[in-house]
Structures are given as C-alpha cells and as structure tokens.
Amino acid sequence: MVSIISRSLLSCANCCRIHVFLYMADSFFTLQTTDTATAARAGVLHTDNGNIQTPIFMPVGTVGTVKSLNQQQLSEQVRAQIILGNTYHLYLRPGIEVLEAAGGLHRFMNWERPILTDSGGYQVFSLASNRKITEEGAIFQSHIDGSRHLFSPETVMGIQRSIGADIMMAFDECPPYPSEYGYAKTSMELTHRWLVRCKNYLAENPPLYGYSQQLFPIVQGSTYADLRKASCEFVASLGAAGNAIGGLSVGEPDEMMYEHTAACCSYLPENKPRYLMGVGTPWNLLECIALGVDMFDCVMPTRNGRNGMLFTTQGVINIRNKKWAQDFSLIDEGLPPESRLPYTKAYLRHLFVADELLALQLASLQNLSYYLWLVGEARKHILQGSFSVWKAEMLLQCKVRL
Amino acid sequence: MVSIISRSLLSCANCCRIHVFLYMADSFFTLQTTDTATAARAGVLHTDNGNIQTPIFMPVGTVGTVKSLNQQQLSEQVRAQIILGNTYHLYLRPGIEVLEAAGGLHRFMNWERPILTDSGGYQVFSLASNRKITEEGAIFQSHIDGSRHLFSPETVMGIQRSIGADIMMAFDECPPYPSEYGYAKTSMELTHRWLVRCKNYLAENPPLYGYSQQLFPIVQGSTYADLRKASCEFVASLGAAGNAIGGLSVGEPDEMMYEHTAACCSYLPENKPRYLMGVGTPWNLLECIALGVDMFDCVMPTRNGRNGMLFTTQGVINIRNKKWAQDFSLIDEGLPPESRLPYTKAYLRHLFVADELLALQLASLQNLSYYLWLVGEARKHILQGSFSVWKAEMLLQCKVRL
C-alpha cells in the first residue's frame, strides 16, 4: 500500500496531523474519529482510484450505469465518491470479453472514481432461474436468454478481476428471511468455505489493470445471534481490508436488522471499514451509522425516485400528488448549490404525470444527492462531536411526509 | 421593438457594424448574408428572450421537456438557441391554469432562451380522436382522457398567450399527402380565414408576461403549385414578422418537398425569416437551407436517437449493431468539446442492448448536438461564402452509413 500512502502524502500537504497518521497506519482504512455517545465513526478509505470519506452511501450502477444518470451528473451533481456494480449483470452484459478489451469497468463506463462490485450471489438467488447450489458453486440460467452458467468462488473472483473493481465482494449464499436455524447454519458454513476459496484464488491471480483490488468477506448467519457471532469471528480472522454484513434488509423488521447490525459491529474489527449491504431508508442509514457502519448501498433512492417518491431535506414527497400541481418552490432548497435542482415541484410533478423521461432523471438526481448529502452531514457531525444531537433531529425530519 | 434594439445595442458593444445595422433595421429579423451560389441565408432573429442565429434547428420539447434531457444539457451541451413546444400537449398537460400560475412556459420549465409553439392543429389531426372541422374551428377528444375540446383561431391564440411563446404559430389545417385539389383548396382558404381571425384576436389581446410574441402565419396548399403561390401571396400580404411553410414532410417524396419549398421561398418576402415545419433529415436541412429556409424543427434526432439511430459528423450509425460491441472510439470525435460525449460506441451500444435509460439520454444529446453543429457549420460557411462547396461535401458525408 506504499503507493497509496505516498498519494495521501501529496494530497494532504496542508494537514500535518492526518498526514503523519496515514503514514503510520499504512492501511486501506483510516479511522479518524469515533463518536463518544454512539458507535458512529468517520474515516477515509484509500483506493488506487481515489479516497472515500466515510460514512458513505454508494449509488447502485447495476450494469455499468446508475439508472438514468450520466457519469458527469454522478460526480458533479450527486457527488458520488464510489459506485456499485453488479457482477451477475455485468457478466451477462456486456460480458467479460468486452470489459477486458475496454481495460475494465472504469474505462468502459468512463468513471474514474472507485467502484465496488458485489459477488453476484444475491442476483443468482433472486433473478436467475433453475438455480442449483452445490459445494462447487451455483449453477443457474440467465434471466435474459436462459443460457446456463456456473458461479463458483473462483469464477466470481475471476470475473471481478476482469471488471477491475477497487473493492470485490466474496461469493456467498444469502439465505432468505425467515430461514430455519439448520439451513442458516449450513449455508453460513458453505459461505465460509467459499470465502477461503475466494482468498486462495486471488492469491494466485493478480489484478489485471495495475491497481489494487481489495476483497471484502461477507458475514452471514441469518437472524441467529450465535451464527452471526461465529460468522463475524471467522470473517475477522481472515484480516481482510474491510468486512461486509450480508443477509440483512431482506424482509425482516427494522428492529431486528438493527439488533444484528449492532452485534456484528461489536464483533468486527474496529480498524476495518464495515459495509452493511443493501441498506436502506434514510432513517436506516442514520441508525446504522450510529451502530458503527461505514458503508451502504441500496437501490431505494433510484428505484423509488423513478416511482415518484422523493427524499428531501424537508422530508418525503410523493411528487405525483395533486397538491404539488401549482407548488412553484424548488424541489429541495436545502441541498448544496451543486446538487440543488433548478426546477420546481410543479414542473417535476408535471413530468411524472406526463410520463416524461426527464422525470426519472430529475428524481434520481434528487434522491441520490439527498443520500450523499445525508451521509456527508453525518460525517461532519461525527467529526464535530455533535452527531448524537443532530441524528435525533434528522431522524424526525427525514421521516416527515410532506 | 425599441426595447429589443436597445438590448442589442448593449450586447453588441464590441461590434459597431452590426450594432448600427440593427438600429437601422429596427426589425425582428436581420438578414446578414445571402449566398451567391444558392439561396442560403445567414441572419439573426431578435426576441425579447434572446437572439437566434440562423439557419437554426429547434429541438422539439413537446410537453415542456425535450425528451430525456434537462434544460442545462440543452443549453450547455446541445447549445440549443430556441426550442419548440406543442400547444395541443401543453394545453392538455399541465394545462393553461398551471402555466399561467407559473408565469408562462419559460419559467415553468426554467428555460430562459426563446420558445416557439405550434398551433396544435397538426396534433388535433394526427393524435386526437372524433375530430370535426367546422368554420369555427376543430372539435376533438383528448388522446389522454377522451375529454372534448374546441380549438379555434381565438382559443389557440389565447393558449399561446398563456404559454408565452416568443413565436406563435397561426391555427391551420394541415391536409394529408396526397390530397385532392378541391380539398386542398378549400382547406387552404379555411386556413387563410383562420389566419385573419388569429391576427384580429392578438390585436385585441396583448401578451401576458411583459415581452413580445410574434405570430408566424403558415403557408398551405398541399402539392399544388398554384395553391402554394396563392397561399404565399396571401401570407406575405399580412406582413408578419416571419412566415412558415406547412403541409410538407407529410409523406411526399423528398424531391417534391424541395420543389415546393423552393417555390415558397421565392414567393415569401426576403427580409422575413422562413420556417419549414417538421423537416427533417440532415440532408433535408442542407438542401432546404440552400433553398432559402432559415428555421427547422423535427422530432427525428430525438425519436430516432431513442431507437438507436445516431447522426454523427462521420455519418449515420445503428448503434445496436454488433459491430460496435468492442469499438472503444468516442461516439463522435468530430463535435466541438462542449458537445462531445466522453463515452465510447461500445458503451453506448451496451446501454441500448441492456435497455438502460442512459442510452436514451446519450443518443438524444448526440443527435441534437449534431443537428445544432450542422446548422452552425452551414451558417459559418454561408457567412464565409463557402457554403456551396461545403454543402456538396457534407451531403455525401451525412448520408454515409457507418
């Protein structure tokens, strides 16, 4: 990681304290502050494609595009620091041959900042048909053309090498909610064996494009406390650059998700970033940041946005509602200037009612900008020592139905 | 027009020649140059919402949005100088009440440059159901909810006052191709009577938003030379700020369209802008610029773009074609930097194949940027005296199938 540290030295010329700290840490993750009243943390992830300030939300760019937005909008307006790609989708389209010929996903889609890819396991179980899980891996049929494929720890690591993600997720099985104890335990143990195979594959197959790729293992264990603990301990023992909590936000009540997230955070190493997969609403993010989570991803801001649900600094809006027909105030005055859309609620409502494509673009811009603003504000307050008070107020504000 | 001239004086402080010329012309249109080898012209349209350099192409923003693009993209990337709105669509959604409450379409959609609106006649005949034409106007049922409405010269002028377009089109009947002589003649005479009623209505009902609105009458007469001549003479006799040629590009062969366009241009006054409605392909634009047309609009660049047909400086591309799957050259290197998309053909093909929304945005940006580039280049060559040679080369280039 010496090259990364050198970069940090260059970019932190005016900040001697962090500068020295980074040098001493010599790590993928710099933990800057932990909140005194909660377990919330502020830190920095260092990748060869740039740094990421945590806590962070990662917009989902399933198939090499965050739906309806271009990459300039994503970097300049949304101010996304890292985006997520889906291994399953990218493997099927455009396919590994095209991605390798392009020199990886960054170059293919012209996105210079970091990318994280999931392992494809979740999509195999939620999208593909005729899937069969064996010790070797998962055999499935493509949801696009019915063609048959095998995803194994080795093939999935190979695909993520070809994609060139800065952060790669281990291949796992994500059990549904609810799951029987026996199934959850067997599944977790399989995920652990797969994890070792992922690690071994990567040790023998270096990155393709001249920059580092980090593997994040995934904690499973369904909703069973002892399994979660065992999974965290196994995952922690591998000493990965960062660790993910999977198998939550799959239908269980929010309180149960918080309970297991809190437990996992307490077991996982403090000096490594923690990524809670597939979460969630703005209030989910606030609660889980308070529990010690550093990274999030979710399709909610884009998917719900495309259905006319807006997240704003004032609360939640159903923009299709007749009440906005003559509301000529801006969509969200509270966002910073670069993210603030210069259009009114009345105009955006009209675009939705008239089924216009621009509606999808503007709603996606608004919601992602809001999510990035929210985690940025959280970070600011963690660094300032005011997170707890701010969070209590923001929890009320973000749930308001306008 | 004194206020406009004053504005021009302010904005042309570094250009004494045009400055003085504008003052002397005191008109809506400044004819700068007419090509010696063809009838092509370069000029400037002066509206209270800004000047427009002709020849110009106007992107179609049917219902207050150019499909899939936001207004910042339209002004900064496409560099559109004026856009077109559809009276029929805007009247149905968002409706006149909302547009008036917003202070007109410019403010409603946050577009500060000029807008032209059509009269709605064409849409009544092509989209609405159960339509019936009488001397009074056209009774029709909305294609959205089946509600019944009357469009007459007076109601349509009233709607365009509420929209606040800088250029308003007269209410006309657009006969289909082919039409019998008798029908074409009767229809043209009705359009002429409606035109007088449009003019009378406007004389008694001033603009609503503090800036000027110009009425453009529309020449009809189907494909009959004597009717076209009669219609041009009637239209010219009204001394409007600009004149439109309607009823072409409705299915007739290109050569027939050119023939009637040439005839109309020869009959219409030289010192007024000429707008050829609904045209067309890049080669249609080049041919009709050479015949003396100053303004164009067409859904082709956006509609065909959404189907994967790209117009580029190198020729026409079907971006869905397999041949682009690994073509990592930029979509169109030949466009100026502000319009040049930083994405490859391979990436855009992937977006189309994967049915991604970004495909529609990028293809629309490319095609509109190309159209605006094309008319800008035509203008440059008209001013330089090299139009004829350039046009011959460009006619070949723009038809190349890549």
> Apex CA B16: angle with CA B15 and CA B21, to 5°?
110
Helix (H, G, I), strand (E, B) or coil at A215: strand
Q: Which residue has the tokens 């970019």?
A: A11
Contact A346 B72 (CB under 8 A): no
pLDDT of residue A382: 98
Q: B148: distance to nearest CA of chain A, Å?
A: 19
> What residue in B sits closest to A358 (Cα-Cα)?
B68
Contact A356 B65 (CB under 8 A): yes
Of the residues A118, A166, A294, A327, only one is catalytic, namely: A118
Is A48 one of the catalytic residues? no
Q: What integer is the mean pLDDT of A44-65?
A: 98
Contact B101 A326 (CB under 8 A): yes
Instruction: Say which of A71, A97, A325 has its CB closest to residue B98.
Output: A325
- The CA R_g of chain A, rounded to the nearest whole Å, is 21
Is A118 one of the catalytic residues? yes
Cα dihedral A375→A380→A383→A384 (10° resolution):
-140
φ, ψ of residue A237 in degrees (nearest 5): -65, -20
In single-letter form, the type of residue at position B160 comes to Q
Do B331 and B349 form a contact (C-beta atoms < 8 A)? no
Best mean pLDDT range from A1-10, A24-33, B14-23: A24-33
pLDDT in tens, A216-239: 999 999 999 999 999 999 999 999
φ, ψ of residue B214 in degrees (nearest 5): -100, 140
Contacts of A108 in chain B (CB under 8 A): 344, 346-347, 350
pLDDT of residue A26: 52
pLDDT of residue B24: 35
Taking only residues 268 to 327 of chain A, the set having a beta carbon closer than 8 angstroms to any beta carbon of chain B reads 325-326
**In this complex, is the C-beta atom of B67 within 8 Å of any C-beta atom belonging to chain A?**
yes
Do A109 and A64 form a contact (C-beta atoms < 8 A)? yes
**In this complex, is the C-beta atom of B329 within 8 Å of any C-beta atom belonging to chain A?**
no
Instruction: Say which of B110, B347, B356 has its CB closest to residue A108.
Output: B347
DSSP string, A7-38: HHHHHTTT-HHHHHHHHHH-SSEEEEEE-SSS
Instruction: Say which of B98, B101, B358 has its CB closest to residue A69.
Output: B358
Q: A352: distance to nearest CA of chain B, Å?
A: 11
Contact B358 A102 (CB under 8 A): no
Instruction: Out of A190-199, A341-350, B24-33, B166-175, pick the least confident.
Output: B24-33
Instruction: Say which of B89, B101, B347 has its CB closest to residue A109.
Output: B347
Given a cut of 90, whether residue A364 has pLDDT beyond it is yes
φ, ψ of residue B373 in degrees (nearest 5): -60, -45
Helices (H), A130-248: 153-163, 181-204, 225-237
CA distance B136 to B185: 18
Q: Which residues of chain B have pLDDT under 50?
A: 1-25
Do B298 and B313 form a contact (C-beta atoms < 8 A)? no
Interface test with B, best of A75, A92, A356 (most B CBs within 10 A): A356
pLDDT of residue A16: 39
pLDDT of residue B130: 86
Given a cut of 50, whether residue A25 has pLDDT beyond it is no
Of the residues A294, A297, A327, A332, only one is catalytic, namely: A297
What share of chain A in percent tops pLDDT 70?
Answer: 94
CA distance B261 to B289: 10
Structure pTM?
0.94
pLDDT of residue B124: 87
pLDDT of residue A11: 40
CA distance B28 to A158: 65
Strands A218-219 vs A243-245: parallel, antiparallel or unpaired:
parallel
Taking only residues 77 to 96 of chain A, the set having a beta carbon closer than 8 angstroms to any beta carbon of chain B reads 89, 93-94
For helices B387-399 and B357-384, what crossing angle results, to 10°? Answer: 160
pLDDT of residue B126: 86
CA distance B150 to B138: 6
Instruction: Say which of A93, A344, A350 has its CB closest to residue B354.
Output: A93
Contacts of A65 in chain B (CB under 8 A): 351, 354, 356-358
pLDDT of residue B315: 98
In single-letter form, the type of residue at position A143 comes to H
Contact A63 B354 (CB under 8 A): yes
**In this complex, is the C-beta atom of A360 within 8 Å of any C-beta atom belonging to chain B?**
yes
Q: A90: distance to nearest CA of chain B, Å?
A: 10
pLDDT of residue B385: 98
Contact B328 A354 (CB under 8 A): no
User: Which residues of B participate in catalysis according to the annotation?
Assistant: 118, 297
pLDDT of residue A292: 98
Closest of B53, B61, B55, B52 to residue B364, by C-alpha: B61
Cα dihedral across residues A169, A48, A46, A53: positive or negative: negative
Contact B93 A351 (CB under 8 A): no
CB neighbourhood size of B103 (10 A): 14
CB neighbourhood size of A286 (10 A): 24
Instruction: Say which of A98, A326, A358 has its CB closest to residue B70.
Output: A358
Given a cut of 50, whether residue A162 has pLDDT beyond it is yes
Instruction: Say which of A93, A357, A361 has its CB closest to residue B350.
Output: A93
> Apex CA A57: angle with CA A157 and CA A238, to 5°?
40
Contact A326 B72 (CB under 8 A): no
Cα dihedral across residues A369, A374, A378, A383: positive or negative: positive
> What residue in A sits closest to B96 (Cα-Cα)?
A326
Contact A328 B67 (CB under 8 A): no
Which ipTM was obtained for this model? 0.94
Q: How many Cβ contacts (< 8 angstroms) between chains A and B? A: 117
Per-residue exposure over B193-230, b if at least 16 CB sit within 10 Å of its own CB, e if not:
ebbebbbebbeeeebebebbbbbbbbbbbbbbeebbbb
Helix (H, G, I), strand (E, B) or coil at A377: helix
Distances (CA, A) of B254 to A259, B87, B261, B263, B288: 71, 27, 10, 14, 10
Contact A356 B67 (CB under 8 A): yes
pLDDT of residue B121: 86
**In this complex, is the C-beta atom of A337 within 8 Å of any C-beta atom belonging to chain B?**
no
Contact B328 A101 (CB under 8 A): yes
Average pLDDT taken over every residue of chain A: 93
Contact B110 A362 (CB under 8 A): no
Contacts of B93 in chain A (CB under 8 A): 350, 353-354
CA distance A54 to B154: 61
> What residue in B sits closest to A101 (Cα-Cα)?
B326
**In this complex, is the C-beta atom of A362 within 8 Å of any C-beta atom belonging to chain B?**
yes
Helix (H, G, I), strand (E, B) or coil at B398: helix
pLDDT in tens, B112-158: 999 999 999 889 888 888 899 999 999 999 999 999 999 999 999 99
> What residue in A sits closest to B354 (Cα-Cα)?
A93
> What residue in A sits closest to B356 (Cα-Cα)?
A67
Q: DSSP label at A56?
A: E
pLDDT in tens, A112-131: 999 999 999 889 888 888 89
Closest of B4, B30, B35, B36 to residue B18, by C-alpha: B30
pLDDT of residue A221: 98
Cα dihedral across residues B153, B154, B159, B161: positive or negative: positive
Contact A354 B325 (CB under 8 A): no
Contact B346 A98 (CB under 8 A): yes
Do B364 and B302 form a contact (C-beta atoms < 8 A)? yes
Contact B326 A101 (CB under 8 A): yes
pLDDT of residue B199: 98
Taking only residues 98 to 117 of chain A, the set having a beta carbon closer than 8 angstroms to any beta carbon of chain B reads 98, 101-102, 108-110
Contacts of B343 in chain A (CB under 8 A): 70, 109-110
Instruction: Say which of B68, B102, B325 has its CB closest to residue A358.
Output: B68
Instruction: Say which of B346, B350, B357 has its CB closest to residue A68.
Output: B357
Do B114 and B167 form a contact (C-beta atoms < 8 A)? yes
Contacts of A362 in chain B (CB under 8 A): 70
Q: DSSP label at A76?
A: I
Contacts of A342 in chain B (CB under 8 A): 71-72, 110
